[in-house]
Amino acid sequence: MTDTTAPATKSGVRISGAFHRLLAFSGLIALIVVFSIASPNFMQTQNVLAILQATSVNGVLAIAATLVIITGGIDLSVGTLMTFCAVITGVVLTYLGLPLPLGIVASILAGTACGLVSGTIIAKLKVPPFIATLGMMLILKGLSLVISGTKPIYFNDTPGFNQIALGSWVGTIFPAVPLPNGVLILFVVALLAAFVLGKTQLGRYTFALGSNEEAVRLSGVNIDRWKIAVYATAGGICGVAGLLIASRLNSAQPALGQGYELDAIAAVVIGGTSLSGGRGTVIGTLIGALIISVLANGLRILSVPQEWQTVVTGLIIILAVYADILRRRTL
Amino acid sequence: MLTRRTLLGAISALALLTAGGAATAQDAYDIALISKGFQHQFWQAVKAGADQAAADLGVTVTFEGPETESQVDRQMDMLAAALSRKPSAIGFAALDSQAATPLLQQAKDAGIPVIAFDSGVDSDIPLTTATTDNVAAAALAADVMAELIGGEGKVAIVAHDQTSRTGIDRVEGFSNRIKEAYPNIEVVSVQYGGGDQLQSTEITKSILLANPDLKGIFGANEGSVLGVANGKQELGSNVVIIGYDSGAAQKALIESGVIAGAITQNPVGIGYQTVQAAVSALKGETLPAIIDTGFYYYDKTNMTDPKIAAVLYD
């Protein structure tokens, strides 16, 4: 029963996902072409790197949100969880003076632990994901402020720390391509998440939970366990985002993070993942995140007033989802 | 197919629109201002000043800032995009000076002059800083206080914090002026409430209870003075209060007489002078290290005066 349900869902996803990816991808290309024609400064290496750098944190958060949204859930806590993980890293590296690798591990572990808590509240206490993660969003926002004493924690005592996002391992091998490490990390997280979704049991259950949770439960699967695992995985990914943002700013900024979940969810939706669950891809999300930052950057380079930038971004989100609805009608 | 065409159409229409706008200003200086905020009335007033200067000096100005003053990374994205645009000059009010260092260095290397504004940037890259002279502004508050309490008696200060530049400058500006010019007035207490209204209320009450003969209190920022006003009302005291900045609540309290009056900064002037300094820098003129953007004392008699009303915000 399980064996027949899961692959059927997956192949459906593969076909529609490919189509949508094409649509989102052509949207991205269209934006790039338009901005390149409109401004000679857009396609310069420095600006392309700036766009990728601006995508890295939102991209990683959006990948975390993708996993949860495919199960038919939602995670509103990704932004403040990222901040919480950054603050934990600050405590480990700056307050406790421990070595860099421990700070990295602490961030990812803190994220996973918080995801585990959210997942447990949702799966075991049956609190709807929207409410559970809304609560977590506020709890983590508050805890970040409490732990940090409402002041930024700087990483001046850990010299290598800002290299996590700002350094360039690629650049040391190919000096012509000074790709920031933050962007490299985004790509690695994307590859790993795509692998988990496509090739592992966790991935199959992620889709199955979103398509028909009841059917999965009736077929004797311990759905609680898998659900908790998905939220914990997403939490761990938020820990990576926490490292990226802290490294980029060379500080853990405790008041930051609320509102970032909406940008992450926007990237997921633009990338063709359905908010009702069961359908979605990591590459789509990556394209969605790129569309958001290309749009923001391009409009800035064209000196479009900030008020209008917001309006245009909103329009693009609606257009992207409308395209998705049209596509589904034709299927 | 239909949707893709519509999408492309919409985007290209937009691009044409904006490209057209940019082309007309091709020869003029292009100045990018990256502020600490955007929607807040204070920042909108800074923007209004910048726009006015742009119109007067015939340059183009863009003004951007993150949604909240905590979004340091968003401010970095804005600064990076502004740099890619290759503007003639940049105006910048840092949320976190350290985070901005690599990008400011990039601006310096590209020969783009940087003008700091508001709280400025903790770096030697900016050519000048357009900001309020908080020491002089707080000294004016001391003068008004002395006049209102008849030149003698005890006064106190409730400030936001002892580490920020504005906190230090306002406390020193007020207490030094009292010390120098008014030998019969004594500053008996300087307390810090983190700019938090409730905490400042508690502090005010304890100061008033400890000094029943206290004549006046200076609240050094918006949150502090609202707390001072609360404390005064809760104890039914008639102490004279001088505030700082504006905001709907403080304006209402000045209207009703709980607060005697307040110092307001000149956000419009900050925006105007930042753009003006950028143009001067581009023309190769030398700039002073600090540009004082001015401040005013206001109370209920001159709140509606157009010059004052223009710099007050809700």
Q: Is there a contact between A304 and B18 if contact means CB atoms under 8 Å apart? A: yes
What residues have CB less than 8 Å from A326, skipping those under 6 apart? B2, B3
Each residue of A201-247: pLDDT tens digit?
999 999 999 999 989 999 989 999 999 999 999 999 999 999 999 99
Across the interface, do A38 and B82 touch by the CB < 8 Å criterion? no
How many angstroms separate the CA of residue B90 from the nearest CA in chain A?
13
Q: A with B: how many residue pairs have Cβ under 8 Å apart? A: 121
* Sequence-ordered list of residues with C-beta below 8 angstroms from that of B156, at least 6 positions apart, any chain: B187, B188, B189, B190, B191, B207, B211, B214, B216, B217, B218
Contact A203, A196 (CB under 8 A): yes
Pairing between strand B129-131 and B60-64? Answer: unpaired
Hey, which bits of chain B come out as E strands?
A: 30-34, 60-64, 89-92, 114-117, 129-131, 153-159, 185-192, 214-219, 240-244, 261-265, 290-292, 295-299
Q: How would residue A10 be classed by pLDDT, with cut points 50, 70 and 90? A: very low
- Burial class of residue B306 in the structure, from the number of CB atoms within 10 Å of its CB (0-12 exposed, 13-18 middle, 19+ buried): exposed
Q: Which residues of chain B have pLDDT under 50?
A: 1-5, 8, 12-13, 15-26
User: How many Å apart are CA A184 and CA A164, to the nearest integer?
Assistant: 10
**Over 50: is that where the pLDDT of A167 sits?**
yes
Q: Across A193-294, where does the E strand assignment appear?
A: 251-252
Closest CA to B199 of B166, B236, B225: B225
Per-residue pLDDT, A19: 64
**Residue A329 predicted with pLDDT over 80:** no
Q: Give me the mean pLDDT over the A68-74 stretch.
A: 96
Phi, psi of B298 (to 5 degrees): -130, 150
Choice between B20 and A92, residue whose per-residue pLDDT is larger: A92
- CATH T-level fold of B134-265: Rossmann fold (3.40.50)
Q: Is A48 on the interface with B (CB under 8 A)?
A: no
Which range has the worst mean pLDDT, A110-119, A173-182, A241-250, A318-327? A318-327
Tokens of B107: 């601006």
pLDDT of residue A330: 64
| Strand, helix or coil for residue B60 | strand
Rounded Cα–Cα distance for residues A249 and B94 (Å): 12
Q: How far is Cα B62 from Cα B33, in angstroms, rounded to an integer? A: 6
How distant is the Cα of B82 from the closest Cα of chain A, in angstroms? 6
Which three-class secondary structure state does DSSP give residue B212? coil
Sign of CA dihedral A87, A91, A97, A103: negative
Distance CA A113, CA A284 (A): 27
What's the token pair of residue B104?
A: 């400011």
How confident is the model over B198-250, as pLDDT tens digits? 889 999 998 999 999 999 999 999 889 999 999 999 999 999 999 998 888 89
Q: Using CA atoms, how far apart are residues A10 and A14, in angstroms rounded to an integer?
A: 6
For residue A197, how far is the Cα from the chain centroid? 14
What is the C-alpha separation between A140 and B167, in angstroms, rounded? 29
**Record: contact B72-A253, CB cut-off 8 A:** yes
Q: Which of A27, A38, A245 sits opposite B19 (nearest CB)?
A: A38
Q: Do A46 and B83 touch (CB under 8 A)?
A: yes
Q: Which residues are CB-contacts of B278 (< 8 A; sequence separation ≥ 6)?
A: B29, B31, B59, B88, B89, B90, B91, B113, B115
Sign, CA dihedral B177-B183-B185-B190, equals positive
Q: For residues A313 and B146, what is the distance between their CA atoms, to the nearest angstrom?
A: 54
Q: Per CATH, which fold does A2-6+21-330 belong to?
A: ABC transporter involved in vitamin B12 uptake, BtuC (1.10.3470)
Q: What is the predicted pLDDT for the residue at A306?
A: 86
CA-nearest residue to A250 within chain B is B99
Calculate how close chain A gets to B10, using CA atoms only, in Å: 10
Mutate to test the interface with A, among B51, B73, B161, B163 (most CBs of A within 10 A): B73
Residue B225 CB: number of other CB atoms within 10 A?
A: 32
Q: What is the pLDDT of residue A236?
A: 98
pLDDT given for residue B248 in this prediction: 86
Which residue has 């004052």 as its token pair? B308
All structural domains of chain B with their residue ranges: 27-132+267-294, 134-265
3-class secondary structure, B219: strand
**A 62-81 residues with CB < 8 A to B:** none
Domain extent listing, chain A? 2-6+21-330
Q: What is the mean pLDDT of chain A?
A: 89
CATH 3.40.50.2300 fits B27-132+267-294, yes or no: yes
Instruction: Average the pLDDT over A151-172 and give the result.
Output: 90
Substitution target from A37, A51, A301 for chain B, most B beta carbons within 10 A: A301
Asked whether the beta carbons of residue A50 and residue B84 sit closer than 8 angstroms, the reply is yes
**B60 neighbourhood in chain A, CB within 8 Å:** 303
Closest C-alpha among A165, A175, A200, A295 to residue A6: A200
CA of B67, closest CA in chain A: separation in Å?
Answer: 9
Identify the pLDDT of residue A8. Answer: 42
Q: What is the pLDDT of residue B97?
A: 84
Residue of A31, A248, A303 with shortest CB distance to B73: A248
pLDDT range class, residue A331, cuts 50, 70, 90: low
List the single residue in B with minimal CA-CA distance to A324. Answer: B3
Q: Cβ contacts (< 8 Å) between A302 and chain B: which residues?
A: 15, 18-19, 22
User: What residues in A contact B81, CB-CB < 8 Å?
Assistant: 47, 50, 54, 296-297, 300-301
Is B81 within 8 Å of A300 when comparing Cβ atoms? yes
Quote the CA–CA distance of A203 and A66 in Å, as a whole number: 12
Rg (CA), chain B: 22
Amino acid, single-letter form, for residue B258? V
- pLDDT single digits (tens) A246-280: 999 999 999 889 889 999 999 999 888 888 899 89
- pLDDT at B207 (0 to 100): 93
User: Do B76 and A38 count as a contact with CB atoms less than 8 A apart?
Assistant: no
Distance CA B299, CA B314 (A): 15
Distance between CA atoms of residues A61 and A186, nearest Å:
10
Contact yes or no for A41 and B85 at CB 8 A: yes
pLDDT at A177 over 90: no
Nearest of A44, A26, A43 to residue A287 by alpha carbon: A26
Please determine, for residue A193, whether its predicted confidence score (pLDDT) is greater than 80. yes
What is the predicted pLDDT for the residue at A176?
Answer: 83
For residues A84-88, average pLDDT = 98
